[in-house]
Each structure stands twice: as C-alpha cells, then as structure tokens.
Structure 1
Amino acid sequence: MFAVYASTPNKEDPLASLAVGERPDPDVPEGWVRVAVRAASLNMHDLWTLRGVGIKPEQFPMILGCDGAGVLDDGTEVVLHSVIGDPAWRGDETLDPKRTLLTEKHQGSFAEHVVVPARNALPKPDGLSFAEAACMGTAWLTAYRMLFVKSGLQPGQTMLVQGASGGVATALVQLGKAAGFRVWATGRTEEKRAIAERLGAHDTFEPGARLPERVDAVFETVGKATWSHSMKSLKPGGIVVISGATSGDASSAELQRLFFLQLRVAGSTMGTRDELADLLQFCALRDVRPQIGAELPFSDAKQGFEAMLNGQTAGKIVFTG
C-alpha cells in the first residue's frame, strides 16, 4: 500500500529520512479494526519520529501519522484516537506507563490503511469533513484537555495563548472563544496575530509584550522562548498549563515568583478516549471547526513537513488521499 514513512532516524536532518512509497499491507489482530484513511493531519510528533525521538532504531521504517479519519470495512466513518494503552489498564490512559502512540510502536495513519484497537475508532460526526475530523485526535484533544480538564478556568476569565499559529494554539483560541473565555494570544508576525484574531482572539500581542492586565491562565506549548513572559503574565494564584516545549526547556523556573504569588503549573499530555468523544460533541454543539492552514495530497507530504519544520504554519496541515 502507499504510505509516507520514516526510513531511518536522522537527528540532524529529519527530512532526509522522509520517504514516500510502498509499504506492506497491515495485518488486523483480534480486537483491532482496519481503517481506510481519508485524511490525516501532521503533528510535531512526526518530526520527532523522523529524528528518532521516542522510537527505537530497530522499529524503522515507521509509517508516520498519529491522527486520521476514515472508513471501517463495514462503511462506518470514524475518527482515530491515537493513544494506545495496555488492555489491562483501567482509568485515564494518558497515565498508563505502558501507553504508546501511533508511530511509536504501531504503524501510523499516513497510509492507505491503518489498524487500531476497536475502541480507538470513534464515530465521526456528520458535520465534520474527513479533513476536519483528522485534526481532532492530537492537537485539538491536547487543547481540550488543557482548557477543560486542567486549567479550572470559568467563563468570563482571561486566558493567554502563547505562539498562536500552530495546531494546539489555534485550537485553544477557538475552544476558548466558544466556551466564553476572554482570549488573548501572542504571535511572532502580524500575519499570525491576524489569524488568531480571525479565529476569535479578543486581542493579540507581540511575544514578550506587556499585557494590559494579568491573566488567569496561560497556555504554553513553546517553552524556553516564552516561559518567563508566561510567569510574569499571571495573576496571583493563576495557572500555566503546558503541553510542549518546542523552543526547548526553560532556563529558569522562576521559583521565587512561583511560590510568592502562589502560582500553579500543570503538565498536560494528549487526552483520553472519553475526552475525544466530548470534544467531538462540543464542536458539533457549538459549530466549531478546526483551522486548516494547508491541505495537501499524501504525495506532497514533504511540502507540509518543510512548512512545519520552518514554523510556517497557520493552523493544521492535513494530508488527503
């Protein structure tokens, strides 16, 4: 079958390991289902896989892609949940020490077919296109958990989204607006700030800019480049929710500010199957649709990877068959 895959790990030049071509058709273990992929979205995790992060060298070649939407053999339209846990685990699967994602142990969704446990294929809402549904499983689920499970925000309170042009950040802006929060965002360029405002941000600022007032919560995916600004932007008792550090680890934890102002820091990773089901229902009820910055055929996958590597995103990058 046709697939987009990582041929070998390459830490220094990840795109050199990106391959497009034929891979073996997948077997379908008992309790799993085969999905004919109609659309799949690109995540930073795919670049990490190309670099060999979170995957052993002997597991290459690895078909890329955590997210996707498609059709079961019986014709059911589904959305993929990419967190695959130990079948014996009970409770929040993101806390399962044996959990894994598609592309870490199991072949991913950038292919004609992908196989997943039956519970990881959720019914696709009629109102979502395959391309829109393919955005939900990683970036949008991550944003949903950060906002509704971790932050403790109440409608009317103010949130700040750092670096609001990537997949998680644009999802936070849209979900925050739909939930009744006052949404502020930072962006490196006028174009990126304009995108955030078009998606519902009430105001936007340059990175590091002094805000009109302090906020109740900051949502972080950037890390080192924005961490100090995030800490300084919080009201006493406020919270930073962090799900990534694309610019690297923070050089200072700002512990004095943390304890003196009684700030809170919460880590957040992906989300559960039930949270994905709730997210899909929320988007249907509030008529929220993901921002798709680019839609490309799988054969042009390298173009999408180059855009993500160079920070040239304006929402989700989606591949279609």
Structure 2
Amino acid sequence: MFAITAARSSFDDPLSALEAGERPDPEPREGWAVVDVRAASLNHHDLWSLRGVGLPADRLPMILGCDAAGVDEDGNEVLVHGVVEDGAGRPTILSEKYDGTFAQRVLVPRANLLPKPPELSFEEASCLPTAWLTAYSMLFGKADLRPGSTILVQGAGGGVSVALIRLAVRTGHRVYVTGRDAAKRERALELGAYAAVPTGERLPERVDAVFESVGQATWAHSVRSLKPGGAIVVCGATSGDAPPAELTRVFFLQLRVIGSTMGTREELAGLTEMCARTGVRPVVDRVLPLERAAEGFRAMADGELFGKVVFTP
C-alpha cells in the first residue's frame, strides 16, 4: 500500500526525513480492525515526529498520521480515535509506537473506532480526532468556563486555534485572538472572533481564560492578559518552552496553569455529535492527494495555513 513515512529524523530539516512509497499492508490481529482510509488530516505532531521529538530512531521507519476517517472491514463509516495503549497500559498516539494513518489502510484497536455521522464528509470528520478534540477538551473539559466568558486564543491560523474559535463562538464566549499575520487575523474575525490583535498587543480587557499553544513567544502576554483567578490552558509550545514563568504574578493573582493533551474517546463522541447537530464544521485549508503530502508538510512548516490540511489516499 502507498504511505507517507518518517524514514529518519532531522530536527533542522524535517522535510528531508519524509518519504513516500510502498509499505506492507497491515496484518490483522485480534481485537484490532483494518480501516480503509478515505481522509487523514495533518497535525504539528507529524512535523515534530520528523524532527525526532517523541519518535526515537529505533522505531523508524514509521508511517505518520494520527487522524483518519474511513470505512472498516464491515463497511461502516468510522472515525479513528488516535490515542491507544502502548502494551504496558500507558497511552500513546498512533505513529509514535504503531503505524499511523497517512496510508491507504491503517490497523487500530476496534475500541478506537467511532461511527462517522452522515452529516460530516470524510474530509471534515478526519479533522476532529486531534486538533478539534484537543480544542473541545480544553474548552469544555479543562477551562471550567461559564457561558458568556471572555477568552483569548493565542495564534490565529493553527488547527487547534481555529477549532477553539469556532467552538467558543458557537457556545457564546467573547473571543479575542492574536496573530502576527493580518490576513489570518481577518479570517479569525470572519469566524466570529470579537477582536483580533497583533501578537503581544495589550487587550482592552482581561480575560477569564487563555488558550495557549505557542509557548515562548506568547507566554508573558498570556499571563498578563488574565483576570485574577483566571486559567491558562496549555496544549503545546510550538515556539519553544516558556521563558521565565512569571511565578510572582501566578501566585499573587491565584492563576491556574492547566495542561491538556488531546482528549478521550467519550469527548470525541461528544464533539462529533455537536458538529452533526449544530452545523459547526472544521475549517479545511486544503485537500491534497496523499502523493502530494510533502506540500502540506511544507505549508505547515512555513506557517502558511489557516485551518487543517487533509490528505486523501
């Protein structure tokens, strides 16, 4: 079968580690299912894997990808929840220990399959299990917000950030967004954000919660944008780990710093149901045939995306 693989790792030139070509079909095993992949979406996790972060050399080559929608062996249209146990009871993500979804077929535990609602296309559904699930869990599971709260999303344009905007606007929150790119800030406003400002610019008010995936470049601004008792919910650090942690401000204002990684199968079911019922849909930046996956990886590495990249085998 055709697949996109991390053949080696290169922190400084991750795309040089990407290979496209034939790989063995997955071999059936008890309790697992083979899914014919109809669409799979790209995440920053895939780019970090090419850099060798979380994917050591002794596991290479590895088929990349942790999101997919497709058809199982019984003809059912399904979503793949990418969080699996590593054999020792610890959670891992597809493409960290087990081959991932950037292939014509993928082997996953049957318990990780959820029905794809007919209201969602395969391309839309494939965007949900990582970026959108992360946003859903951050917003509804970690932040402890009341309807009508005021929030800040750092970094307009990424998959998680766009999902946060869509979900938060839909549930009645006032959403501020930051971003370096004026065009992306304008797109955030079109999605319903209350205001979109350049990265680091002071907000006209302090917020109840900040959703942080950027890290070093935005951390100080995140801390200083919070009301007393507010929360920073952190799901990533694409610009690197934070500089000084502003601990004096954290303890004096009784701020909360909460980590968040993806979400549970139950949360994915809730997210899927929400999208089906409300009409909220992922923003897809582009759909590419799997053979052109390198184009999507390059666009992500260069920061030229607004929303999700989807590959179709």
Offset at residue 203 of structure 1 (A): 1.2
**Counterpart contact for 2:157–2:305, Cα < 8 Å:** yes
Structure 1 window deviating more from structure 2 (67-76 vs 195-204): it is: 195-204
In structure 2, distance between residues paired with 1:100 and 1:28: 20
> Could you tell me the TM-score, scaled by structure 2's length?
0.98
**Counterpart contact for 2:152–2:176, Cα < 8 Å:** yes
Residue 24 of structure 1: aligned partner: 24
Q: 3-state SS of the aligned residue for 1:70?
A: strand
Question: Structure 2, unaligned stretches of length 5 or more?
Answer: none
In structure 1, distance between residues paired with 2:264 and 2:87: 14
**Counterpart contact for 2:86–2:97, Cα < 8 Å:** no
Identity over aligned residues, as a percent? Answer: 59
**Counterpart contact for 1:164–1:173, Cα < 8 Å:** no
Residue 286 of structure 2: aligned partner: 294
Residue 94 of structure 1: aligned partner: none
Q: Note the 1:78-227 alignment, pairs <5 A.
A: 78-85=78-85, 98-227=90-219
1:87–1:24 distance in 2 versus 1, CA, 3 Å: closer
Q: Note the 1:270-285 alignment, pairs <5 A.
A: 270-285=262-277
Structure 1 window deviating more from structure 2 (212-221 vs 45-54): it is: 45-54
Residue 52 of structure 1: aligned partner: 52
Residue 5 of structure 1: aligned partner: 5
In structure 1, distance between residues paired with 2:266 and 2:176: 28
**Counterpart contact for 1:70–1:77, Cα < 8 Å:** yes
In structure 2, distance between residues paired with 1:101 and 1:195: 31
> Could you tell me the TM-score, scaled by structure 1's length?
0.96
Counterpart residue identity of residue 156, structure 1: G
In structure 2, distance between residues paired with 1:220 and 1:320: 30
In structure 2, distance between residues paired with 1:132 and 1:194: 23
Question: Structure 1, unaligned stretches of length 5 or more?
Answer: 90-97
Counterpart residue identity of residue 243, structure 2: S
1:17–1:87 distance in 2 versus 1, CA, 3 Å: closer
The alignment's C-alpha RMSD in Å is: 1.1
**Counterpart contact for 1:298–1:319, Cα < 8 Å:** yes
Residues 173-223 of structure 1: per-residue CA shift (max 9 Å, x gap): 000011111111111111110111111211111111111110000000000
Q: 3-state SS of the aligned residue for 1:274?
A: helix
Structure 1 window deviating more from structure 2 (112-121 vs 279-288): it is: 279-288
In structure 1, distance between residues paired with 2:39 and 2:251: 46
Counterpart residue identity of residue 19, structure 1: E
Residues 248-275 of structure 1: per-residue CA shift (max 9 Å, x gap): 0111100111111111110001100001
Residue 307 of structure 1: aligned partner: 299
In structure 1, distance between residues paired with 2:310 and 2:11: 24
Offset at residue 11 of structure 1 (A): 2.0
In the comparison of the two structures, how many residue pairs are matched? 313
